[in-house]
Amino acid sequence: MATAVGVSHSTVHRIWQAHALTPHRIETFKFSTDPAAEEKIHDVVGLYMDPPTHAVVLSVGEKTRIQALKRTQPILPLRSGVPARQTHDYRLNGLTSLYAALDVASRTVVGECCARHTSADFVRFLNVLARQDRRQDLHVVLDNSSTHKTPDVRAWLEGYPRVHFHFTPTGASWLNMVETWFSILTRKSVRRGSFDTVRALITHLQWHIKHWNDHPTPFVWTKEPVAIIKKALRRAH
């Protein structure tokens, strides 16, 4: 830019600083084109902010293909002035997928690992959830993964009339509260580990869930549907 306009680099730098310009930064955004997006946003956010009485609201999702990475050298512990360090290179010892259900009221999590993430795996996880809450209605928030809408899943729902699915809008899986928990799991736990086997990774994930449930962190949803709709939907002009 300095060359193009015929000034020095320091002049360009001062102008950018004076106007708080950061042209090196790029942020991404995504609009939902789901024709039923507004209705779904009101539905899901309503469950978060005003949950039904005598019912359980679960935010359900799957974190697929979690890698059991073995670092080539032991992780170096942190010390004064130096963060914990780990080698960039690693050996991949396998994969697992984690189904998780975040109870919106208690913030506790139920999780199950499986080798794949098929419709049959999802149905098995639904059975786990249904057994835990036998007497109350279950309102399940989930995204639009194809494994959530197969004939097997629809048949399962017909056998459990007290279970109600609430889908997030297409392209707006971030509206599913369990995604926040998955982010915490990745940043604070999985990425900091080193695993010799998939079994070691699964044991670590189970430990993380138990540790979380001992002291669950509260998630408080504060953004109203109108504010979300304004930012998340592309309006036709």
pLDDT of residue 237 exceeding 70, the answer is: no
Q: Does the structural domain 35-232 have CATH classification 3.30.420.10?
A: yes
pLDDT of residue 31 exceeding 90, the answer is: no
In contact, 57 and 104? CB cutoff 8 Å:
yes
> Based on C-alpha coordinates, what's the Rg of the chain?
22
Mean pLDDT of 160-164: 96
Dihedral sign computed on CA atoms, order 170, 172, 173, 177? negative
- Unique residue bearing structure tokens 């015929």: 6
For the segment 66-112, what is each residue's pLDDT rounded down to a tens digit? Answer: 999 888 776 666 677 767 677 777 788 999 999 999 999 999 999 99
In contact, 117 and 64? CB cutoff 8 Å:
yes
Q: What are the sequence ranges of the domains in the chain?
A: 35-232
* pTM, entire model: 0.82
**CA 8 to CA 1: how far, in whole Å?**
9
For the segment 99-131, what is each residue's pLDDT rounded down to a tens digit? Answer: 999 999 999 999 999 998 899 999 999 999 999
What's the half-sphere exposure (Cβ side, CA atoms, 13 Å) at 40? 24
pLDDT of residue 155 exceeding 90, the answer is: yes
Residue 95: closest CA among 120, 142, 62: 62
